Chains A and B, each alone.
Chain A
Amino acid sequence: MRDLGHPPVWTGKDGKPMSIAFYLVAALTVGGGLAAVMLKNTVHCALALTVAFAGLALLFLQLDAQFAGFAQILIYIGAVAILVVFAILLTRSQEAPRGGVFSKSWLTGLAIAAAVFAVLGWAVLQTANLLPRVSEAPVVTVQQIGTALMGRYVLPLEIVALLLTAALIGAVIVAMHEKEGAQ
């Protein structure tokens, strides 16, 4: 254990600096997100989106949320990214359209996004000294999560189950190919 006489700038759970791993993963995530919204080819966008999801899963794992991290990998990389690729290929929108990939009102959208980031970043930096610094790494087992899901959170779990069923049926019905002459 190193000397903690003055509060360290960046400390992990055992007092070691966590800066390099955090900065690497954060750069990976933000870079993937930027590429996902800026690349011309939409298949490349989907691949960059997968990188961003993987970076987020790594951030979750760094935050000692193992279950959420692996759920992120399974659901987002395994399901949502594949779904996006399917949609891109089914709609044949790989190539950039002639008028460019950005809409006519892109400047307004960019200004709104920049303003939102400025406000959020300002709020975080203003309150950065009030935020809790170092806390014990919580030990959460999957069994605890399962018990909580079956106990305290059983009603939200049932509602989510209903929602997922409805969403699956709805997605199939919406995307179902109506044959000529039917109805």
Chain B
Amino acid sequence: MTPLAGYLLVAALLFAIGLAGALTRRNAILVLIGIELMLNAANLNLIAFWRYGPHPEALTGMMFAIFSIAVAAAEAAVGLGLVIQIHRHAHTTDLDQINRMKG
């Protein structure tokens, strides 16, 4: 097994863990945590392919990962703001109880 395959396996495992968290947890904040883990696993793939790819001096994968980190930060801010507002409105962050679109 090459080093790249090791990194890819770790990233796949982390992605699956994040997906399992996002799909099985009831707390909306924990679902966001799972989504963050998935985004980070994708970043690890990008960096690993950049490192072992043919033209690392072009910085393509690194730039992709940096922009992905920025977008993930924006996503976390908006998502957690939404969770706080939902909690203020419905007095719960339990996703099994938040089942109405209408306020």
Contacts and interface: CB of A to CB of B under 8 A. Distances in A.
Contacts of A113: 16-17, 19-20, 23-24
B27 A99 contact: no
A29 B69 contact: no
A99 B26 contact: yes
A103 interface: yes
Interface in B18-65: 18-27, 29-30, 32-34, 36-37, 40, 43-44, 47-48, 50-54, 56-57, 59, 62-63, 65
A117 B16 contact: yes
Interface string B59-82: 100110111011111111110111
A1 B63 CA distance: 33
A67 B69 CA distance: 12
Contacts, number: 256
A131 interface: yes
A102 B29 contact: no
Contact of A86 (B25, B30, B70, B80): B80
Contacts of B9: 121, 124-125
Given A83-B80, A93-B27, A112-B19, A160 B5 contact: no
Contact of A88 (B29, B63, B95): B29
B12 A120 contact: yes
A177 B93 CA distance: 17
A132 B59 CA distance: 18
A42 B29 CA distance: 8
Contact of B30 (A12, A45, A112, A172): A45
A106 B52 CA distance: 37
Given A49-B36, A99-B26, A112-B19, A64 B77 contact: no
Nearest to A109: B23
B14 to A, nearest CB: 5
B103 interface: no
Interface in A142-160: 144-145, 148-149, 153, 156, 160
Interface in A65-87: 65, 67-68, 71-72, 75-76, 79-80, 83-84, 86-87
Given A117-B12, A164-B74, A65 B62 contact: yes
A52 B40 CA distance: 9
Given A106-B24, A163-B70, 15 more contacts: A11-B3, A34-B17, A36-B37, A68-B43, A72-B43, A80-B72, A83-B77, A87-B84, A109-B23, A110-B23, A120-B15, A135-B52, A148-B63, A163-B74, A174-B84
